[in-house]
Structure 1
Amino acid sequence: MIGVHASENWVPCTTRNLIADGKLAIGDGYRAKNSELSGEGLPFARAGNINSGFHFVDADRFPVKEIAKVGDKVSQPGDVVFTSKGTVGRLALVRLTTPRFVYSPQLCYWRSLNQEAIDSRWLYFWMHGSEFGYQVAGLKGQTDMADYVSLSDQRNMEISLPPIAEQRAIASVLGALDDKIEQNRRTALALEKLAQAIFRAWFVDFEPVKAKAAGATRFPSMPQPVFDALPTCFVDSDIGPVPEGWEVKALANAATFLNGLALQKYPPRGDDDDLPVIKIAQLRKGSTDGADLANGDVPEQYVIGDGDLLFSWSGTLEAAFWFGGKGALNQHLFKVASDEHPSWLCLLWVQQHLPWFRTIAAGKATTMGHIKRGHLMEAQVVTAMPKVLQAADAIIGPVYDLYAQTMLESRKLAQMRDYLLPKLLSGQIRVRDAERKAATVP
């Protein structure tokens, strides 16, 4: 039975009929052999690369010269990507700015073939709604194996289709919020890159000290009194030459690494004190949407808040500031903190060693690679003289303050989008009212 639609002029359809009419295409990915993949070419996108957007840094590549083999299974702007195997239900919209990629069999694409019949962005938001969600929930667990929604099932779904003008109006309201979130994501990424560049120049490559040793009288962005106080020579250390007077220490001694709890011991009670459980998946997407719950008896030191630094040491190794709201720290995650050093420095130290940590984890014979505390002792970091640290904090600290503001704004925008989406798709609220509501987000 077709789901509830907003008004009488919303047309009940099936994806089968839309496909037959040439208005919609639903396809799956290319079944590539390992020998077909390489280190260069278009990203070969799997479910793990789809999580609140696209993440292709570690993706395999499909050679461009072989792309004819793939046919239609290459992304196009406007595609709605749906993870159909294993972790079912992740969605992403292919934007004009999204790099072209090849779909793997873990992914399906929904592609409007007629923008006068189906607006691509409206389709993306519809797939976030209850009509699509209920159908997926009823289909994905049909076998005893991992969750799976087959291509034939997707091609036989029901969809309530508004007139194109109404589709575009709904997409415009929700899309404006989504566009701002995407703009904030790009801003946050640029801020991170700026901070990383300054950190590497000052604390890894020691460029200011090298410049002074070579006869320079100043260094860009470094206050003159700080530059004047820099040493002009290097001394040997376990990690090679470091500036005289600077200290080399183990990462484990530069900050505290609090491991999370096995939170099954704190089952939820269904009251207001329950906390969302922050696992690796929540860290990766920066949100607790759909998270498990734990009761409010979780010890205070394991309760996470905005701005805390988290580091997943198992599975997918990541380090990031958390801005997904209050939650409980699960095992396989460290909360990283220091009374001596600013949190941004701890983050950049961990990120400095992430490539090595990931290599260690990848070499494990277990199903979930990981590192041990001993590796935190082996990882060495350099701490500069206090004047240099203070100068760096005066520059990099505000960068991460702006980063935090950007991330918190995005959370408010996402909350407003998620509030309006079901109401617009069910007709509980009109587009004009939604526009006024959206305008209240600071």
Structure 2
Amino acid sequence: MNDVTLGDGLEVLIDYRGKTPAKLGSAFTDSGVPVASALLVKAGRLDLGEARFVDAETAARWMSIPTARGDVLLTSEAPLGRVARVPSDDPVVLGQRIFGLRGKRGVLDTGYLYYALQSDPVQASLRGHATGTTVLGIRQAALRTVRIPAPGWDEQRAIAEVLGALDDKIAANDRVVRNIESLADAIFRRAQSAAVEPGVTTFGEIAEVSGGGTPSTRVPEYWDGGVRWATPTDVTRLSAPYLSETSRTITDAGLGACSSSTYPPGSILMTSRATIGAFALAQVPVAVNQGFIVVNARKARHQLWLFHDMRSRVPEFLTHANGATFLELSRGRFKSINVAVPDDDRIDAFNETVRPLHDLAAQTVLESAAVATTRDELLPLLMSGKVQVRDAEKRVEEVL
């Protein structure tokens, strides 16, 4: 298999390093053309939900070369090496730490490039061409010298099509999960408004409110065991509020040496410091670090009600937080916050409707994880030629 440098394989390389609205005599606006930043490139996609905007005139002066649907976005630093694709031909402005890449027809297929950039060898090459001590970053001149393994043009397109089918399934599942979440939230709001004189209590009275801790990192025997151990990052990176895996694990000895219990499936995990109010329902037994409030209703029938109630009240929770370096909502303060709960009949009717929705959403998330695993396993095999496209297609059919 031949290699091609990005300098030889690209038709378009968009790099507007140094441009800002202020330098263009303008400013960010409340609406208009979204500005894509490196932080908005997540899990292979561009999430413009938290994008800032500029007006159309500023966008036109900023983007002398506009993006096109399907272009690859590559973050140049902080973080380096994340990729996404431009989802449409709608105007979008590329921020300072993001490249726009378009392959040269007949040489480097843009869809194939999207997957190649995510492969371990190319990620390693990006890091190898980067500079910086505190933050790694790559400049355009160095990026152009990065080599991409490149089979023939038709083979590239076939690989992109196979892997794209898996990503399409994941995207479809994501839409299903978002719709389920919206439906469950709507059912909660309706049940909440229909409740007649709900009982008012506190979180501390209606639930066990717990927290976690971190075993000493100086003791190797505490780490890499069989106990899943969650940090806030494990929750904030989720596309849906169902936690099945954690980035780190601890041993039984590590669990005994920190302030966390092993919390059961169904536990409500809420981040409580720095980022306050990111949520997950544990799908497996899990321990947590000190960045969480963990809630388990004393009566199981109240658990999902509390989950929806808590998610709807994050702005209120922020008013109870304090801290000089970063905001933190203490467990003691959280326990004292009031919560309204309907009578048992209404709670049971709520659960009868909502619980199957959460079960379906959690199962769909697991299905997406399995599809993503298949995609990630096929990527290096297809790029190296160890698996032929026709064989990969059979495996894809099995998971779809």
TM-score, normalising length: structure 2:
0.84
Change (3 A) 1:133 1:146: same
Of 333, 347, 351, the residue aligned with 1:393 is: 351
Residue of structure 2 in register with 1:202 after alignment: 191
Once the two structures are superposed, residues 393-442 of structure 1 have per-residue CA deviations (whole angstroms, 9 ceiling, x without a partner) of: 11111111111111111111111111111111111211122122223337
Q: Amino acid of the residue matched to residue 202 of structure 1?
A: A
Distance in 1 of aligned mates of 2:271 and 2:304: 17
CA contact (8 A) 1:319 1:347 kept: no
Task: Tell me the secondary structure at the aligned position of residue 297 of structure 1.
Answer: helix
Residue of structure 1 in register with 2:386 after alignment: 428
Task: Tell me the secondary structure at the aligned position of residue 165 of structure 1.
Answer: helix
TM-score, normalising length: structure 1:
0.77
Residue of structure 1 in register with 2:314 after alignment: 354
Distance in 2 of aligned mates of 1:16 and 1:116: 15
Change (3 A) 1:307 1:247: closer
What pairs up with 1:375-390 in 2 under 5 angstroms?
A: 375-377=333-335, 379-390=337-348
Q: Amino acid of the residue matched to residue 291 of structure 1?
A: S
CA contact (8 A) 2:201 2:340 kept: yes
Distance in 2 of aligned mates of 1:77 and 1:358: 39
Of 132, 151, 155, the residue aligned with 2:140 is: 151
CA contact (8 A) 2:224 2:249 kept: no
Residue of structure 2 in register with 1:315 after alignment: 274
Distance in 1 of aligned mates of 2:313 and 2:219: 35
Q: Does 1:284 align with 2:236?
A: yes
Percent identity of the aligned residues? 26
What pairs up with 1:246-261 in 2 under 5 angstroms?
A: 246-261=198-213
Distance in 1 of aligned mates of 2:246 and 2:138: 19
Residue of structure 2 in register with 1:415 after alignment: 373
Change (3 A) 1:90 1:352: same
Of 17, 35, 44, the residue aligned with 2:8 is: 17
**RMSD between aligned alpha carbons?**
3.3
Q: Amino acid of the residue matched to residue 349 of structure 2?
A: A
Structure 1, unaligned runs of 5 or more: 1-6, 210-242
Distance in 2 of aligned mates of 1:149 and 1:285: 24
Residue of structure 1 in register with 2:32 after alignment: 41
Distance in 2 of aligned mates of 1:304 and 1:25: 49
Distance in 1 of aligned mates of 2:324 and 2:373: 41
Residue of structure 2 in register with 1:338 after alignment: 297
Residue of structure 2 in register with 1:175 after alignment: 164
Out of 318-327 and 274-283, give the one that drifted further: 318-327
Residue of structure 2 in register with 1:297 after alignment: 253
Distance in 1 of aligned mates of 2:330 and 2:223: 36
CA contact (8 A) 1:41 1:63 kept: yes
What pairs up with 1:66-215 in 2 under 5 angstroms?
A: 66-72=58-64, 75-96=67-88, 101-112=92-103, 114-140=104-130, 142-203=131-192, 206=193, 208=194
Of 323, 326, 330, the residue aligned with 1:372 is: 330
Change (3 A) 1:172 1:390: same
Distance in 1 of aligned mates of 2:316 and 2:48: 19
Structure 2, unaligned runs of 5 or more: none
Once the two structures are superposed, residues 175-204 of structure 1 have per-residue CA deviations (whole angstroms, 9 ceiling, x without a partner) of: 11111111111110111011111111221x
CA contact (8 A) 1:42 1:64 kept: yes
Q: CA deviation at 1:104?
A: 2.0
Change (3 A) 1:328 1:173: farther
Task: Tell me the secondary structure at the aligned position of residue 50 of structure 2.
Answer: coil
Larger strand share, 1 or 2: 2
Q: Amino acid of the residue matched to residue 13 of structure 2?
A: A
What pairs up with 1:225-264 in 2 under 5 angstroms?
A: 243-244=196-197, 246-264=198-216
CA contact (8 A) 2:116 2:149 kept: no
Q: Amino acid of the residue matched to residue 174 of structure 1?
A: L
Distance in 2 of aligned mates of 1:149 and 1:434: 33
Q: CA deviation at 1:373?
A: 3.0
Distance in 2 of aligned mates of 1:290 and 1:157: 32
Q: CA deviation at 1:277?
A: 4.8
Distance in 2 of aligned mates of 1:73 and 1:263: 51
Q: CA deviation at 1:374?
A: 5.0
Task: Tell me the secondary structure at the aligned position of residue 191 of structure 1.
Answer: helix
Distance in 2 of aligned mates of 1:186 and 1:404: 13
Out of 339-348 and 181-190, give the one that drifted further: 339-348
Change (3 A) 1:375 1:306: same
CA contact (8 A) 2:6 2:144 kept: yes
